[in-house]
């Protein structure tokens, strides 16, 4: 019996415009995850590929198509208090992105997923970690409520990636 476990590489794409306060929260979350990774990973941490998706575009399609699993972190209108974090999975993402969109990159994200689906190359596992923005006016820092959501969003990313890793290991 082989003692190696199947390893699932998870693409984590933080999107948003860091010049527009809370709009850039996805990028801030991936930067925080990158800092944690440089500080030393804990044994058993999932293999995360961190990408700054910026304001997103079809140039990210190859990254998405090559991923077995993807977690997008983005500011998204979820009708909650600023800084609230919600996780959408698979078809829930499509429903969330087809609703009222507050940012241009939410439209681009829907297009990116649609392009991968049309080409038959969508990741098997998809999640959107949505953070309710408070203010998307000019500014380099997120508002305090949204800034305070970063640790919870980072935990959501790693917990979801660990869960997926366990599923892959169990299936191997």
Name the superfamily (CATH) of residues 9-171.
HybD-like (3.40.50.1450)
* Ordered per-residue pLDDT tens for the chain, 172 residues: 344 556 788 999 999 999 999 999 999 999 999 988 766 554 456 788 999 998 877 889 999 999 999 999 999 999 999 999 999 999 899 888 876 655 655 668 888 898 999 999 999 999 999 999 999 999 999 999 999 999 999 999 999 999 999 998 888 7
Q: In what order do the strands lie in the sheet with 9-15?
A: 47-54, 9-15, 69-75, 125-131, 85-89
The pTM assigned to this predicted structure is 0.89
Q: What residue ranges do the domains of the chain occupy?
A: 9-171
């Amino acid at each position: 019996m082989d003692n190696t476990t199947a390893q699932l590489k998870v693409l984590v794409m933080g999107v948003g415009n860091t010049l527009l306060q809370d709009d850039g929260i996805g990028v801030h979350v991936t930067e925080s995850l990158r800092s944690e990774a440089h500080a030393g990973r804990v044994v058993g941490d999932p293999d995360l590929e961190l990408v700054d998706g910026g304001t997103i575009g079809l140039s990210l399609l190859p990254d998405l198509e090559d991923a077995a699993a993807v977690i997008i972190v983005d500011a998204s209108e979820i009708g909650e208090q600023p800084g609230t974090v919600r996780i959408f999975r698979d078809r829930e993402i499509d429903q969330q992105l087809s609703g009222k969109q507050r940012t241009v990159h939410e439209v681009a994200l829907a297009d990116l997923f649609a392009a991968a689906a049309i080409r038959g190359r969508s990741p098997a596992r998809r999640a959107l970690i949505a953070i309710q923005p408070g203010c998307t006016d000019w500014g380099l820092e997120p508002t305090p409520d949204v800034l305070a959501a970063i640790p919870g969003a980072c935990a959501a990313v790693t917990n979801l990636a660990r869960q997926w890793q366990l599923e892959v290991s169990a299936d191997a």
